[in-house]
Chain A
C-alpha cells in the first residue's frame, strides 16, 4: 500500500543521492503543493483554535480582575488573582444554590432517564407485540418536533398537577423530554446484543424482569454510558425547559441563575463577580470533558452517526 505512492522522489538512481532535497524533476510541483497546503492548513487550523479559545481565556482573565480593569483594559493580564470575586459569586450571588439545584435535578433525571429509557427500549427491541412499531415511532418522532409548541400547554399541565416550580416536577419533565433520543439510541443498541444469553437465563428460570436487570443491563453498559453522557450534558446545560417551568428564583438551575445574575449584577455593577460566576459554571464541564474526552466525544456523536 505504501510502496505504490507515485509522486515520491525516484529511488535516487545512480550516485547523485541527495536524500533530503530531492532532484529537480517530476515530483517538484506535487511536493510544493503539499508543503504550501501544509502551511496553509496549519495556519487555518491555528486561527480557528485561537478563535475558540480566546473568548474563554478572556472570561477567565476577567474573573480575576476588578471592575475597573475589566472595563479599562480587557485584554491585559490581571494584576493579581482576586479570588474574592469567586467567593462573592459563590455565596452572595447564590452560585452555590444554583449548583445544588442543578445537581439535584440532573441527578434525579439522569437516573430516571436511563432506567425508564432502557426499559422501554428493551421491550421495543426484543418483543413482538401489536403496536410495537407505533410506540417506537411515537417516541422517535419526539426528536424532530419543536419543543416550544408543547411547552405552552405543558406549563398548565404541570401547574394543574402542582408540580410548577418544584425540583421533582422538573425532573419528571426532563425525563420525558430525554426519552425520544434515549429510546431511539438504546433500541438500536439492544438489537445488536446476542439473544442467546437472555434465552439461556430464561431457560434457567429467571423471570423477564430479572433477565433484564441482571443479564441485559450489564451487557448494555457501553450503550448506557454513551447515552448517559449525552443526556447528562443535555440536562446539565438545559435552558429552555427551566425558563418556562421553573420561575421561582430559589429553585433556579445554573443556566437560569447565571442569566438572572447577569440582569441583577448589571444593575449592581458587580461585573467581576458575574465573570467569576460564568467561569465557575464553565470550568467543571470543561475539566470533565478534558478528562473523559474520548467517552464524551463518542457519547455526543454516537447518535448523529446513525
Chain B
C-alpha cells in the first residue's frame, strides 16, 4: 500500500485541513494576538499595548457580572438538567410496576412515547426556542402569566424577563427545558446496558429503589454523566447562552446587565462598540474559563472505573 501514499495523503488532507486552518485555527491564534493590541476592528491600524486590555478587563464591572453569570450557566444549568434527566430516566426505566413472573425491574408503560416527546426541544433551534419563550414570558399576554391567571393566581404575575432578579433564572430555565430530553434519552440508553442481574441482586438484598439508584445505577452511569456535564457546560458557556440571552432579554443583556454573559459581551464589544481588541481579551478569558471548567469537572468527577 506504499505506492503513491504520500501524494494521496496530501491530496486528501489539503482541502479540509486548509479550510479548517483558515477559518478556525488561524482566527483563534489571531485573536490571542489581538488581545495585546488596541485594534478597533474599524481601521487596519493598531499598536501593541501589552497587558492594558487585561488590566482594563479586571476593572470592568460588567465583565465581572458576565463572568459570574457565565460560571452560573456552566455550573447550575448542567446540575439541574442532568439531575432532572437522571431522575426522569430512572423513572422511565426502573419505575414500572412489577408483574408476577416478569423481570425484577421494568420500564413504565409508554416509555417510548415519553422519550419521543421529551426529545422534541432538542431538534428545534435554540433561537426558535428562545423566541417562543420570550413570548411565553411576556407579562401581559404570555402563556405563563395567563396560565397563572387561569388557575386563580391573579396575584402572582411576575415581570419575568423584565425583573432584574428573575431574568437570569428565566433564561437558564429555558436551557434546562430544551436539553433535559436529550440526556433522558442518553441515560436511558446507558441504563438499558446495565445487566438486570445487578438490580435483581440489589432487590434480593432488600435494597429500596432509592438505594438501588444511588448504589447501582448512578455509579455505573458515572462516565456518561461526567462527559454529559462537560458537554453541557461548554454549550452553556458558548453558543446556547449567546442565543438565549441575546434573543430573550432586553438590551440585550437584561435589565441592569442582570443576564449578560461573557459570550454576549464579546459579541457586543466587537460588533457593536468597535472595540475588537478588548473583545478578544474577554474571549481569551472565556477560553480560560472553559478550559478550567472542563479540567475541574474531569478531576472532581474522577472515580474508579467500574467494569461490568
User: Which A residues lie at the B interface, using CB under 8 A?
Assistant: 1-2, 4-9, 31, 33-35, 37-38, 40-42, 44-45, 48-49, 51-56, 58-59, 70-71, 73-75, 116-117, 119-120, 122-123, 127, 129, 135, 138-139, 142, 144-158, 172-173, 175-177, 179-180, 183, 199, 202, 207-209, 212, 233, 236-240, 243-244, 254-256, 258-259, 262, 275, 278, 281-282, 285-286, 288-290, 293, 296-297, 300-301, 304-305
Contact residue among A52, A71, A148, A278 (Cβ-Cβ distance under 8 Å from B128): A278
* B8 in contact with A209 (CB, 8 Å): yes
* A259 in contact with B131 (CB, 8 Å): yes
* A149 in contact with B266 (CB, 8 Å): yes
Nearest residue (CB) in B for A113 is: B16
Q: Is B239 an interface residue (CB 8 A)?
A: yes
Contact residue among A5, A156, A209, A275 (Cβ-Cβ distance under 8 Å from B12): A209
Contact residue among A51, A74, A289 (Cβ-Cβ distance under 8 Å from B119): A289
Contact flag A155-B126 (CB < 8 Å), given A41-B95, A52-B177, A148-B242: no
Which residues of the partner chain A approach B16 to less than 8 Å between Cβ atoms?
116-117, 119-120, 179, 183
Contact flag A116-B15 (CB < 8 Å), given A56-B120, A59-B132, A149-B286: yes
* B17 in contact with A135 (CB, 8 Å): yes
Which residues of the partner chain B approach A58 to less than 8 Å between Cβ atoms?
136, 143
Contact residue among B20, B128, B228, B290 (Cβ-Cβ distance under 8 Å from A176): B20
* A305 in contact with B186 (CB, 8 Å): yes
Q: Is B249 an interface residue (CB 8 A)?
A: no
* B280 in contact with A135 (CB, 8 Å): no
Contact residue among A31, A151, A255 (Cβ-Cβ distance under 8 Å from B125): A255
User: Which B residues lie at the A interface, using CB under 8 A?
Assistant: 1, 4-6, 8-9, 11-13, 15-17, 19-20, 22-28, 30-31, 34, 41, 84, 87-88, 91-92, 95-98, 100-104, 108, 113-128, 131-136, 140-143, 146-147, 150, 177, 180-182, 185-186, 189-190, 196-197, 200, 203-204, 208-209, 224, 227-228, 230-231, 234, 237-239, 242-243, 246-247, 263, 266-267, 270-271, 276, 279-280, 283-284, 286-287, 290-291, 294
* A177 in contact with B270 (CB, 8 Å): no
Which residues of the partner chain A approach B108 to less than 8 Å between Cβ atoms?
38, 41-42, 45
Nearest residue (CB) in A for B104 is: A5
Query: Which of B4, B92, B140, B143 counts the most chain A CB atoms within 10 A?
Result: B143
Question: How far, in whole Å, are A156 and B209 apart by their CA atoms in the complex?
Answer: 57
Between-chain CB contacts (< 8 Å), 20 pairs:
A1-B200, A2-B101, A5-B102, A6-B203, A8-B101, A40-B95, A49-B113, A52-B117, A148-B263, A151-B266, A152-B283, A155-B270, A172-B23, A176-B22, A207-B4, A237-B126, A237-B128, A258-B131, A288-B123, A305-B190
* A44 in contact with B88 (CB, 8 Å): yes
* B239 in contact with A240 (CB, 8 Å): yes
B155 to chain A, nearest CB (A): 19
Which residues of the partner chain B approach A158 to less than 8 Å between Cβ atoms?
23
- Chain B contact residues, majority secondary structure: helix
B284 to chain A, nearest CB (A): 7
* B20 in contact with A142 (CB, 8 Å): yes
Query: Which of B123, B200, B243, B271 counts the most chain A CB atoms within 10 A?
Result: B123
Question: How far, in whole Å, are A34 and B181 apart by their CA atoms in the complex?
Answer: 25
Contact residue among A156, A179, A239 (Cβ-Cβ distance under 8 Å from B239): A239
* B91 in contact with A127 (CB, 8 Å): no
Nearest residue (CB) in B for A293 is: B116
Contact flag A157-B19 (CB < 8 Å), given A148-B238, A152-B34, A285-B123: no
Contact residue among B128, B142, B180, B246 (Cβ-Cβ distance under 8 Å from A281): B128
* B189 in contact with A236 (CB, 8 Å): no
* B242 in contact with A240 (CB, 8 Å): yes
A262 to chain B, nearest CB (A): 6
Question: How far, in whole Å, are A244 and B23 apart by their CA atoms in the complex?
Answer: 14
Contact flag A286-B31 (CB < 8 Å), given A71-B140, A123-B13: no
Question: How far, in whole Å, are A285 and B98 apart by their CA atoms in the complex?
Answer: 37
Give the top 9 A-B pairs by smallest Cβ distance, nearest first: A41-B95, A237-B125, A149-B283, A176-B23, A41-B91, A255-B127, A150-B27, A208-B8, A239-B127
Nearest residue (CB) in B for A43 is: B91
Question: How far, in whole Å, are A170 and B157 apart by their CA atoms in the complex?
Answer: 43
Contact residue among B12, B102, B286 (Cβ-Cβ distance under 8 Å from A119): B12
* B238 in contact with A1 (CB, 8 Å): no
Contact flag A5-B200 (CB < 8 Å), given A281-B128, A282-B128: yes
Nearest residue (CB) in A for B23 is: A176
A45 to chain B, nearest CB (A): 5
A235 to chain B, nearest CB (A): 10
Known: A129-B9, A145-B28. 9 other contacts (CB 8 A): A1-B103, A8-B100, A37-B95, A54-B143, A127-B5, A135-B17, A262-B131, A262-B134, A290-B116
A161 to chain B, nearest CB (A): 9
Which residues of the partner chain B approach A176 to less than 8 Å between Cβ atoms?
19-20, 22-24
* A52 in contact with B118 (CB, 8 Å): yes
Which residues of the partner chain B approach A152 to less than 8 Å between Cβ atoms?
27, 31, 34, 41, 266, 270, 276, 279-280, 283
Question: How far, in whole Å, are A139 and B224 apart by their CA atoms in the complex?
Answer: 23
* B19 in contact with A175 (CB, 8 Å): yes
Question: How far, in whole Å, are A130 and B294 apart by their CA atoms in the complex?
Answer: 29
B301 to chain A, nearest CB (A): 15
Nearest residue (CB) in A for B264 is: A148
Which residues of the partner chain B approach A48 to less than 8 Å between Cβ atoms?
84, 88, 114, 118, 180
* B239 in contact with A74 (CB, 8 Å): no
